Amino acid sequence: MTTERTTTRTTGSTTGSTTGSTASSTTAVASDVTFDLRAVLAEMGQATSRLNAINACEANAGNISVTVPTTDAVAGQLDEIFPDSEPYALPTDVPALRGRTVLVSGSQQRLREIEANPTAIVGAVVIDAAGGAVVRSAPDRAFARPTSESNSHLAVHNDYLARSGQNDHLARTGHNDHLARTGHTGIHAVVHAHAPYTTTLSHQFAGRFEAGADPLDFARMIMRWEPELVVHVPHGIGFLPYEVPGSKKLEEASVAGLRVASIVAWAKHGVLARSEKGPLGAVDLIEFIETGARFELDNQRLGNVASGLTDAEIAEIITSFGVEASVY
Ligand SMILES: [Zn+2]
């Protein structure tokens, strides 16, 4: 159903190639896995340009982050691409991100400009082994600080990495065999966007939720319009009640919601998606859900003339594709 991409990872290089790089505040993880930060930045640009094409990141809306282990090679690239460094007070506790780098979009920046000017819009939060952090940036940096939703981004990365166990294996052995075997790539992306159709439906559903509706009804309302949706997004979209943007409550709800599904709706606001396939993988999830939401709204505008796939029809797809789905 999905194609694995390897654009952000190459394997087989040996450690030590960055010996002699200029003073870095990072604590590098020795590893035979290398992560090309320029390729990650390029994919962040492709992903956010796609968000722009579906009208999901108006003006300076939306934000994106991608974490990779701070391997020796990454530490060397940080010195080349992001030579400037300043202290950063982490907005939330993220022990599983020690020894990792998080590329993150800057506050008040237009996501659609990442593809043309990645280092103007994106900086690198680098977290050392003791839990201290810095923001690394390039000379063309246009932002004052990382996105105001950094707390949710970092907390979701932290929760995923703590659960996946891939940090432990990488640090202990320096090998990526566990990553290859389990399909983990060592990369993890989080994307927030104002997907218009899904967001409109979240406004509608907020009232039903407050009246006691099953939150899974939000996902079912969207997923009944395409047979493939339950295959590509088997856990649907979580529905999170409205919380103030950037708040601790929103952060905590996001972590809990993204343990179950890979994409959640922030009611009356937008969506948040996470993917171990990188930024394009996260944006794919947003596109899948947004397409279902568009069909739902079209049907409403037409006077609810259709009922979509029935639960029985979707159950048949789940059986024939062997999907582990939690929505049905
Ligand atoms: Zn937003």
Strand residues in the chain grouped as ranges (E): 9-11, 33-35, 63-69, 84-87, 100-105, 122-127, 133-137, 188-193, 238-240, 263-266, 270-275
CA of 61 to the centre of ligand 1 (A): 6
pLDDT at position 184, please? 54
pLDDT at position 177, please? 53
- The predicted-structure confidence for 22-62, as pLDDT tens digits, reads as follows 333 344 444 456 699 999 999 999 999 999 999 999 999 99
- The predicted-structure confidence for 227-243, as pLDDT tens digits, reads as follows 999 999 999 999 999 99
What architecture is the 9-191 domain classified under in CATH?
3-Layer(aba) Sandwich (3.40)
- The predicted-structure confidence for 141-178, as pLDDT tens digits, reads as follows 999 999 999 999 999 999 999 998 765 555 555 555 55
**128 has pLDDT over 80:** yes
CA of 156 to the centre of ligand 1 (A): 16
pLDDT at position 85, please? 98
Nearest Cα to 205, choosing from 269, 285, 126? 269
Whole-structure pTM value: 0.87
CA of 196 to the centre of ligand 1 (A): 11
pLDDT at position 164, please? 87
CA of 272 to the centre of ligand 1 (A): 9
CA of 178 to the centre of ligand 1 (A): 35
How many CB atoms neighbour CB 68 within 10 A?
Answer: 27
Angle 196-210/216-223 helices, nearest 10 degrees? 140
- The predicted-structure confidence for 63-116, as pLDDT tens digits, reads as follows 999 999 999 999 999 999 999 999 999 999 999 999 999 999 999 999 999 999
9-191 matches 195-321 in fold: yes
Q: What is the mean pLDDT of the chain?
A: 88
- Sketch the domain layout of the chain as residue ranges: 9-191, 195-321
CA of 269 to the centre of ligand 1 (A): 6
- 64 and 105 Cβ atoms separated by less than 8 Å: yes
Task: Match domain 195-321 to its CATH number in 3.30.70.141, 3.20.20.140, 3.40.1670.10, 3.40.225.10.
Answer: 3.40.225.10
pLDDT at position 165, please? 72
pLDDT at position 27, please? 46
CA of 183 to the centre of ligand 1 (A): 30
CA of 232 to the centre of ligand 1 (A): 24
Q: What mean pLDDT do residues 214-228 have?
A: 97
- Can you tell me the distance from the alpha carbon of 291 to that of 273, in angstroms, rounded to the nearest whole number? 15
CA of 92 to the centre of ligand 1 (A): 19
